Structure 1
Amino acid sequence: MEGKLNQTYEVIEVCLLAGKIMLQSGAETYRVEDTMTRIAASFGIHDSHSFVTPTGIIFSIEGMDPTKFVRISDRSTDLEKVSVVNSISRKISGGEISIKDAYSELKQVEKANLSYPIWVQIVAASLVGGCFLIMFQGVWHDFIPALVSSGVGFSCHIYFHRLVRVKFFAEFFASLIIGLLAFLFVAIGFGNELDKIIIGSVMPLVPGLLITNAVRDLMAGHLVSGISKGAEAFLTAFAIGTGIAVVFSVF
């Protein structure tokens, strides 16, 4: 009886750890709940229940077993970790891995830094800004101003987010700098269309994943998570718009 109870506790820990990694890495709420339920069922626990919000996970098993809660304080976008956890979940479902090995692998994934280096992210953000400028029917003459504004703005976003752990201020100051740079390029004659440069440059800051996850969670019936993620996306959009609006109001 004691051995079975210990195994149940181990399954709960594996489920919570898998859910925590996925939620912190940008996975949808329904995907997190589905993964946790599948892992528990693979180890013979078919009466498990989970409640996931962007800031916490509650997991319980019917009976006398305790309900456990995990707090989620930091969230980012690392879809590679989501993919790795899904791979581990499939191995668990296929009976290819034990509870202890699964927990060990998940711990390694939690500690690992699978995201691209900062310089790669900045280069990618720069190219995104220039390419979106062309997509929005801008002229090639503005490609370099958009590329520079986007790269510098994204770099400032990373820096300010490390300095102040409030996303709103990081996004506000990043968009403010993008607006100032775009205005400067146009003022010195290096850029032509101010609006196209700004629109292209702020695209790396736009919360596309948050908006997508909010819609998918709402469609899946997870109203609390969907509305909260939508509100977070709205705040991000508001911060970006406010930063640009300040530039236009001053100049």
Structure 2
Amino acid sequence: MQNQEPSQLTIKICLLAGKLILQNGGETYRVEDTMNRIAYAYGIESSHSYVTPTGIIFATDGASQITRLVRISERSTNLLKVSMVNDISRKISKGELCAEDAYRQLKDLEEKSYEYRELYKVLAAAAASGCFLIMFDGKWSDFLTVFLIGGVGFLSFLMLHRLVPVKFFAEFLTAIIIGASSSLAVYLGLGGELDKIIIGSVMPLVPGLHITNAVRDLMAGHLVSGLSKGAEAFLTAFAIGAGIATVLSFY
């Protein structure tokens, strides 16, 4: 019984660390590598993990074989949490954290949001939209227009995502709002180049992290996760494109 308890706690630590990484935008291979390293550091010499974007399966070999499954229902992007889990994992590998302290730190990390306020997110999206306008060779005279449309568009996405749980529809409706606002701005003479204004304004919605993770998972040999993340990124891109196309068809 004395040998079983540490194993149970170790498995909880592995699953919690993997869950935090996967929920906050980490790659599949990073989840599996982190879980296996933690298990080995705490005395489980042979362990196996299978990770998909919607679930984690972790199993151990030996006299008392244990298999656990964790379901992942919600995912977001919070790379600070991913970095903090990696830091805890490194301390575990170096023998600087006992199992009880590691589990307590991971639980504290799970309970805290570590997110910026929505006002800061909207301002960051607005500034990014304006910068993307210039990067795509837009005019400085359109910077303020894109700044406002990009901020309003991202704010609309945050509000719509609360009302519409399906992310695809929230992105589609947000793209319609951005397209309509951009067309109206050009019609009123507040903007010059419609295409550059739309491109700059929708960039905060583009699934850059999902595309990057999909490519990295495919390169690491995780075909199921890579294809599923790629499909998720494609749906987001399709929702944005469909929303803009809907507005332009009436423009």
| Aligned equivalents of 1:65, 1:120: Cα separation in 2 | 48
2:85 corresponds to: 85
| Aligned equivalents of 1:112, 1:58: Cα separation in 2 | 25
| Aligned equivalents of 2:154, 2:245: Cα separation in 1 | 18
Q: SS state of the match for residue 230, structure 2?
A: helix
1:36 corresponds to: 35
| Aligned equivalents of 2:156, 2:61: Cα separation in 1 | 48
Q: SS state of the match for residue 173, structure 1?
A: helix
Shift of 1:44: 1.2
| Aligned equivalents of 1:74, 1:149: Cα separation in 2 | 28
Point out 4+ residue stretches in structure 1 off by more than 4 angstroms: none
Shift of 1:162: 1.1
The amino acid of 1:196's aligned partner reads K
**Cα deviation digits, residues 21-77 of structure 1 (max 9, x gap):** 000000000001000000000011120000000000000001332210000000000
Matches within 5 A, 1:123-138: 123-138=123-138
1:57 corresponds to: 56
The amino acid of 2:56's aligned partner reads I
| Aligned equivalents of 2:29, 2:50: Cα separation in 1 | 10
The amino acid of 2:46's aligned partner reads D
The amino acid of 2:47's aligned partner reads S
Larger mean CA deviation between 236-245 and 158-167 belongs to 158-167
1:18 corresponds to: 17
| Aligned equivalents of 2:90, 2:15: Cα separation in 1 | 16
**Cα deviation digits, residues 78-106 of structure 1 (max 9, x gap):** 00000110111111111111111111100
Q: SS state of the match for residue 101, structure 1?
A: helix
1:66 corresponds to: 66
2:235 corresponds to: 235
Q: SS state of the match for residue 51, structure 2?
A: strand
2:179 corresponds to 1:182: no
The amino acid of 2:199's aligned partner reads I
Q: SS state of the match for residue 75, structure 2?
A: coil
Q: SS state of the match for residue 67, structure 1?
A: strand
The amino acid of 1:67's aligned partner reads T
| Aligned equivalents of 1:108, 1:65: Cα separation in 2 | 29
The amino acid of 2:30's aligned partner reads R
TM-score, normalised with respect to structure 2: 0.98
TM-score, normalised with respect to structure 1: 0.98
Matches within 5 A, 1:104-183: 104-183=104-183
* Unmatched 5+ stretches in structure 2: none
| Aligned equivalents of 1:37, 1:195: Cα separation in 2 | 48
| Aligned equivalents of 1:50, 1:162: Cα separation in 2 | 33
2:99 corresponds to: 99
Q: SS state of the match for residue 68, structure 1?
A: strand
The amino acid of 2:16's aligned partner reads L
